[in-house]
Structure 1
Amino acid sequence: MTQGFMIAVFKKNLENEFSIAPHQHNMGVFLNLACPKSDHVLRRAETNNYFSEAYYWIIQGTSFESATERLNRVFIPPCSQVLVIYLNEGSFQLKYFYKAASDTPLRIDNKSHAFHGEIIPNRKDLEGIYLRSIIVIAFPDVFTTLDDQRMRHIDTMAKANFPISRNLREDLNFNFDMQQADNFGWRRPNGSFDGMVGKLQRNEVDFGNVAIFMRLDRIPIVDFAADTIRVRACIMFRQPPLSAVTNIFALPFTGEVWFAILLFLVTTIIALKVLVSYATTPVNMNFMDCVDFAWGAMCQQGFYVDVVSRSGRILVFTTFVTALFLFTSFSANIVALLQSPSETIKSLYELALSPLELGVQDTVYNKIYFKETTDPVTKFLFEKKISPKGDAVFMRPEIGIKRMRKQLFAYQVESQAAYQIISDTYSEPEKCGLKELEPFQLPPMSIPMRKDFPYKELFRQRLRWQREVGLIRREATRWFPPKPRCETEVEKSLLVTEELRECNVKMFYGISVICANNCV
């Protein structure tokens, strides 16, 4: 009891079925092979997977030969803890027994001498047995090989996880026959699963060569060994120009600027009217002519009346110089605004309200997680940008990244797939303008195994060992490209229709007024 074990004692003759309460761990079982029903107990333990790391067996035999002959009839996995006690020349001997597979000879582990933690590392040799595995290739039409780094963004998870399974095969000395599926496995309306999880559910394969999401609906169907490489999905976009979200030609005119311009116009009109009224030489100008002069000077236009007085000419000169400086400052401000990003989109809510279109990488989990999310902002984004377009919003990364480069477009994509395409196709200034937002956190990814897989704990420990020594990190670095670096932020900005939209609108209104006036 000092080790925290529970002991199961069966005093009856096991006429009923031998069973242990489920979900019991650190359960100790003592079996005397001299009992008449001991073979029945061994067969039931093999069938119900009681020879696992969760149960510690102490089996008493009359002799070494008798115990070996009896235990050789059942499969005792390497993850098991079966200690056999027998009498040899007047003294008791203790031996650990296990088998690499059901059809391999019974092995004796003389190195194990303690409870959990020191048994499994001594039993890594599975003697070349064959296991059934499966891998998911989501894009078989463009997939080449598992070692092709030229197209790292195609089935990246399969390419990154397969070397991990290969290392596991060499570490444990086993072989595997590999099947192929086209999806990871999702729940059907009838409760069963398709894809890789479905094959694991039906015991058609033993484990997966690629990690899958650890979802709550999958936990009752499959077991998970250990997490390998995590996937990050984000919405990538380029901040839209200011002209797409506001009228850049009105931005320089703050309240103070409007007040200064109005004061300048009023002062010019009043001063010109006073000079005309008291001029020694008559000038044919009324009040509206003074207003027309001031407005024309602001628009860099001349005037049809010649002011001959010296004071009048000084006023005209001062007015046009002031208007020139104002026009030059406005033009310089517009040029700066044309080359400035808007920086208006900093959250999913602002993205949902922006003029950007949204595309989503064509994967099954994107269609599921957007519908399952409980975050109100993500749900609002889904209802506003994704749901109205139906299946047209789902596209492959090559198409989405290309549209994101040239259009007002945002694209939800796995970061490793996007980074590879961006590094190959984007210019340096274009890489600097990229922004990322995460609509939801994806769960960890782990190697799946069928239920009651006899090598479950062995796989778990050796996969954790790969993480500790850096083998998993090596594969992640090899297959997952880093985020493109921003080398320079200088980018040429060309005037396009979007930037000139407000000017075109004003010009259309002006031409319409002129045409209407001429018609009248």
Structure 2
Amino acid sequence: MELFVMDYDCYNYTDILQQNEDLLQFPHRWFIFINNITAFPLLDIRLNTRLYLLQKQPPHILISSYLIPNQSTYELNSIGTWSNDHYTHPLNDISDYRNRTNMKGLTLNTTIVLVYPRTLDHLEDGRYLLEDSLTKHNYPLLHYLMDFMNSTLNIKWSPGWGTKEPNSSNYNFMCGDLQTGVSDLAGTATLVTTDRLRVGDYIACPTPTLVVFILKAPPLAVVSNILTKPFDWYVWTCLGVLVLIVFVITWVVIKLEWKFIKSNENYNEKTVLRENVLDVVEYEVAAFCQQDMNIPRSLSGKIITICVSLSFFFIYTAYSACIVGLLQSTSNTVTSIEDLLYSNIKLGAHKAPYMKFFFQQQHGKIKETLFNQKIAPPNQPENYLPVEVGVELMRTEFFAFHGERDTIYKQISKTYTEHEKCGLVEIKFFSEVEPHMFIRKKLYYKEIVAIAYRKFKKME
């Protein structure tokens, strides 16, 4: 930015200004001293020009001037008026954009994305919100913008946001209209990409949403072995030691029974625990599984049986209770793109015009592999689905659906129960930021439009 100060009544300054009108444009600033403000020539002083005129003859007047396209006279913003002795008018706020919002009915050309033809009949009635949702959200804001700037709107409808044509630097659809100057403003917010910065500027985010994968958190039983999770390894170690101790004590008791009890006429019964390693192992397994078993005949053996049965009963009850809780639990192990790739989760994406383009723009081994294996596998149908189908698959299957967050949640609110809404997980795949409004490059009222949209966002 450069600041120029000049005395307009000096020799040859009129020719200098007329021959260097590019220096009058943003971001340069000019302070021009002039005997009579009304004598200033008609130059291309646009809305974003910071040019201030100071009248040298009393009363001294400081104004900022600009020219609205298709107008033949300057618009003047008075900043202050004073004499040699005192102020005769309070000093006004010096804010170029706050004082220049009246465009005097200037026509603004805009291109709006229209994918579904019936959207034209339902832009403002709240019907079919899942179709052209970005357009329906931004359409009322465009009319607020026209009121804010005192402008009129000339709309052109486009079937897409626009991509670069093959072997060319030209864009088609909405971005192409901005590039060729057919439109000044994009009426539908678009995701931010670096290649589009050559066509226009991103000014504001009126639609705070993201394009993400959404899935129900998978049941813990699907992604891990829940049979080992009720106890940590300390408990499993103690349980193993307990089994070993029970085996040793039972084996000793059985050996003593057969050694010291002389009368053994009843030891031929099938329910009697014999002096055999396999019989002792079978005894422990039956006690652990709460099944019928052969028991020792001696008092010490029966005491051991009661203690073992009670110990394994409480262990079995605690284990079963934990298993029931784990069967109802969800897992937080699927939190990244890599987790989606290496899990058995099926994937799908919203059947929107921009979706395939942005998937193909992603780089990185994980992202490319995921796209080629689960979204668009070779020699198989591509998994691009309507929102209604994708959200229903999320509800009934182990499925992750990729699309605009607000659109997916609107459908979820219609079809899911309150219990089914719990445990939803979001995973961001695209590296692009939230959709922003897009405006033609070097448009002279860009800052006014940006300020308007920021004000709209604060009022939401």
Task: Name the TM-score class by shorter chain.
Answer: 0.7 to 0.9
Residues 297-335 of structure 1, C-alpha deviation per residue, up to 9 Å, x if partnerless? Answer: 4333335x7866666555555554544444333322322
Structure 1 residue 121 corresponds to structure 2 residue 106: no
Query: Which of 238, 256, 274 is residue 238 of structure 2 equivalent to?
Result: 256
Query: Which of 241, 264, 268 is residue 281 of structure 1 equivalent to?
Result: 264
Residues 453-510 of structure 1, C-alpha deviation per residue, up to 9 Å, x if partnerless? Answer: 343343334444x2xxxx32444xxxxxxxxxxxxxxxxxxxxxxxxxxxxxxxxxxx
In 2, Cα distance between the equivalents of 1:211 and 1:28? Answer: 41
Report the counterpart of residue 186 of structure 1 in structure 2.
Answer: 163
Q: Contact 2:111–2:155 (CA<8 Å) still a contact in 1?
A: yes
Q: Contact 1:265–1:294 (CA<8 Å) still a contact in 2?
A: yes
Instruction: For 1:438, give the aligned amino acid.
Output: K
In 2, Cα distance between the equivalents of 1:150 and 1:258? Answer: 64
Query: Relative to 1, partners in 2 of residues 1:473 and 1:328: Cα closer, same or farther, differing over 3 Å?
Result: same
Query: Relative to 1, partners in 2 of residues 1:381 and 1:258: Cα closer, same or farther, differing over 3 Å?
Result: farther
Structure 1 residues without counterparts, runs of 5 or longer: 6-25, 476-520
**In structure 2, the residue corresponding to 1:219 is in which secondary structure?**
helix
* TM-fit CA distance, 1:201: 0.7
Instruction: For 1:258, give the aligned amino acid.
Output: G
Report the counterpart of residue 106 of structure 1 in structure 2.
Answer: 73
Report the counterpart of residue 271 of structure 2 in structure 1.
Answer: none
Structure 1 residue 218 corresponds to structure 2 residue 231: no
Report the counterpart of residue 169 of structure 1 in structure 2.
Answer: 146
Report the counterpart of residue 405 of structure 2 in structure 1.
Answer: 415
* TM-fit CA distance, 1:180: 1.5
Residues 42-74 of structure 1, C-alpha deviation per residue, up to 9 Å, x if partnerless? Answer: 5984xxx66533345689999988x68x73xx7
Please list, as runs of the form range in 1=range in 2, the aligned pairs for 1:249-398 lying within 5 A after superposition. 249-252=227-230, 254-276=236-258, 278-279=260-261, 280-282=263-265, 283-284=267-268, 285=274, 287=276, 288-303=278-293, 319-363=308-352, 366-373=355-362, 385-386=374-375, 388=377, 392-398=382-388
Q: Contact 1:100–1:125 (CA<8 Å) still a contact in 2?
A: no
In 2, Cα distance between the equivalents of 1:428 and 1:37? Answer: 73
Query: Relative to 1, partners in 2 of residues 1:413 and 1:29: Cα closer, same or farther, differing over 3 Å?
Result: farther
Instruction: For 1:263, give the aligned amino acid.
Output: I
In 2, Cα distance between the equivalents of 1:95 and 1:322? Answer: 94
**In structure 2, the residue corresponding to 1:392 is in which secondary structure?**
coil
In 1, Cα distance between the equivalents of 2:68 and 2:152? Answer: 13
Instruction: For 1:162, give the aligned amino acid.
Output: Y
Q: Contact 1:31–1:57 (CA<8 Å) still a contact in 2?
A: no
**TM-score, structure 2 normalization:** 0.76
Residues 194-231 of structure 1, C-alpha deviation per residue, up to 9 Å, x if partnerless? Answer: 22111111111121223333432122212344443433
Instruction: For 1:332, give the aligned amino acid.
Output: A
In 2, Cα distance between the equivalents of 1:42 and 1:172? Answer: 29
Query: Which of 110, 134, 139 is residue 133 of structure 1 equivalent to?
Result: 110
Query: Relative to 1, partners in 2 of residues 1:259 and 1:218: Cα closer, same or farther, differing over 3 Å?
Result: same
Instruction: For 2:241, give the aligned amino acid.
Output: F
Query: Relative to 1, partners in 2 of residues 1:124 and 1:295: Cα closer, same or farther, differing over 3 Å?
Result: closer
Query: Relative to 1, partners in 2 of residues 1:165 and 1:357: Cα closer, same or farther, differing over 3 Å?
Result: same
Query: Which of 198, 212, 223 is residue 176 of structure 2 equivalent to?
Result: 198
Report the counterpart of residue 53 of structure 1 in structure 2.
Answer: 26
Instruction: For 2:345, give the aligned amino acid.
Output: L
Q: Contact 1:297–1:319 (CA<8 Å) still a contact in 2?
A: yes
* Percent of aligned positions that are identical: 25
* TM-fit CA distance, 1:126: 2.0
In 1, Cα distance between the equivalents of 2:165 and 2:94? Answer: 39
Instruction: For 2:150, give the aligned amino acid.
Output: N
Report the counterpart of residue 220 of structure 2 in structure 1.
Answer: 242
Query: Relative to 1, partners in 2 of residues 1:340 and 1:260: Cα closer, same or farther, differing over 3 Å?
Result: farther
Query: Relative to 1, partners in 2 of residues 1:266 and 1:122: Cα closer, same or farther, differing over 3 Å?
Result: same
Structure 2 residues without counterparts, runs of 5 or longer: 81-90, 269-273
Report the counterpart of residue 145 of structure 1 in structure 2.
Answer: 122
In 2, Cα distance between the equivalents of 1:82 and 1:314? Answer: 103
In 2, Cα distance between the equivalents of 1:224 and 1:337? Answer: 48
In 2, Cα distance between the equivalents of 1:291 and 1:120? Answer: 89
In 1, Cα distance between the equivalents of 2:197 and 2:144? Answer: 25
Structure 1 residue 399 corresponds to structure 2 residue 389: yes
**TM-score, structure 1 normalization:** 0.68
Q: Contact 2:105–2:150 (CA<8 Å) still a contact in 1?
A: yes
Instruction: For 2:424, give the aligned amino acid.
Output: L
* TM-fit CA distance, 1:192: 1.6
* TM-fit CA distance, 1:111: 1.3
Query: Relative to 1, partners in 2 of residues 1:36 and 1:51: Cα closer, same or farther, differing over 3 Å?
Result: closer
Q: Contact 1:208–1:449 (CA<8 Å) still a contact in 2?
A: yes
Q: Contact 2:164–2:171 (CA<8 Å) still a contact in 1?
A: yes
Please list, as runs of the form range in 1=range in 2, the aligned pairs for 1:432-471 lying within 5 A after superposition. 432-443=422-433, 445-464=435-454, 466=455, 471=456
Q: Contact 2:107–2:153 (CA<8 Å) still a contact in 1?
A: yes
* TM-fit CA distance, 1:427: 2.4
Query: Relative to 1, partners in 2 of residues 1:163 and 1:112: Cα closer, same or farther, differing over 3 Å?
Result: farther
Query: Relative to 1, partners in 2 of residues 1:210 and 1:259: Cα closer, same or farther, differing over 3 Å?
Result: same
* TM-fit CA distance, 1:443: 2.7
Report the counterpart of residue 20 of structure 1 in structure 2.
Answer: none
Query: Relative to 1, partners in 2 of residues 1:265 and 1:130: Cα closer, same or farther, differing over 3 Å?
Result: same
In 2, Cα distance between the equivalents of 1:143 and 1:262? Answer: 78
* TM-fit CA distance, 1:273: 4.9
**In structure 2, the residue corresponding to 1:122 is in which secondary structure?**
coil
Q: Contact 2:192–2:432 (CA<8 Å) still a contact in 1?
A: no
**In structure 2, the residue corresponding to 1:429 is in which secondary structure?**
coil
Report the counterpart of residue 15 of structure 1 in structure 2.
Answer: none
Query: Relative to 1, partners in 2 of residues 1:248 and 1:147: Cα closer, same or farther, differing over 3 Å?
Result: same
Query: Relative to 1, partners in 2 of residues 1:296 and 1:447: Cα closer, same or farther, differing over 3 Å?
Result: closer
Q: Contact 1:112–1:119 (CA<8 Å) still a contact in 2?
A: no
In 1, Cα distance between the equivalents of 2:295 and 2:67? Answer: 113
* TM-fit CA distance, 1:81: 4.8
CA RMSD after TM alignment = 4.4
In 2, Cα distance between the equivalents of 1:315 and 1:372? Answer: 70
Report the counterpart of residue 457 of structure 2 in structure 1.
Answer: 472
